[in-house]
Chain A
Amino acid sequence: GNSVTQMEGPVTLSEEAFLTINCTYTATGYPSLFWYVQYPGEGLQLLLKATKADDKGSNKGFEATYRKETTSFHLEKGSVQVSDSAVYFCALSDDGGSQGNLIFGKGTKLSVKP
């Protein structure tokens, strides 16, 4: 079945460091891919998405490119801030992008130190 695998955390970085959180997926068809963020004490928020191969999603300095050849959707940010401390979830849409059920990875906790 479809699945998402994320790098395990926690990840601890210093402010202004470069961030990469790896995400790979297994899916039939052509899923849409998402990154969600969960700040402490808050609900999940959509960070960015990509709906087809080679699409790049971006938001708030974060980027991820849909790589069909490597079945990956790695999250990157060039310079993290303390306010980026949160749990990040990679997810795929199970029905080809028409907003079906989402399958989530286990999440990666990021802590950014000043």
Chain B
Amino acid sequence: DTGVSQNPRHKITKRGQNVTFRCDPISEHNRLYWYRQTLGQGPEFLTYFQNEAQLEKSRLLSDRFSAERPKGSFSTLEIQRTEQGDSAMYLCASSPRYGPDGYTFGSGTRLTVV
């Protein structure tokens, strides 16, 4: 297994456009998480899935954000009508349902809204 993979690595978009990011977790991990990290801050939780079920969403996840994990495998995070404030690093992590090792993070997708 090559770890958690995120695509694209970088995305530059114009304000008002829609963007979609993809995360491929470690195959045996049931839980998948999305976080957002802005410059100089720690990651902030957005949402997570256990298998295909989205179990929790942060208040940070406005109506313009939607996440899916069809079939409990890869996940997508879509941002509609992007705003400059959406510029951040979007991190995906996966984790076993009960495990001692914490998360495995992907390298992230850096979004720049111009």
Contact = CB atoms under 8 A, between A and B. Distances in A.
A22 B57 CA distance: 30
B2 interface: no
| Dominant secondary structure at the B interface | loop
How many residues of B sit at the interface, in one of the four size bands?
A: 20 to 34
A45 B108 CA distance: 12
Given A42-B107, A45-B105, A46-B102, A99 B95 contact: yes
A46 B4 CA distance: 13
How many residues of A sit at the interface, in one of the four size bands?
A: 20 to 34
B65 interface: no
Interface of B: 31, 33, 35, 40-45, 48, 56, 91, 93, 95-108
A42 B44 CA distance: 18
A98 B105 contact: no
A27 interface: no
A36 B99 CA distance: 16
Given A44-B43, A89-B42, A101-B48, A49 B102 contact: yes
Interface in A65-114: 89, 91, 93, 98-99, 101-107
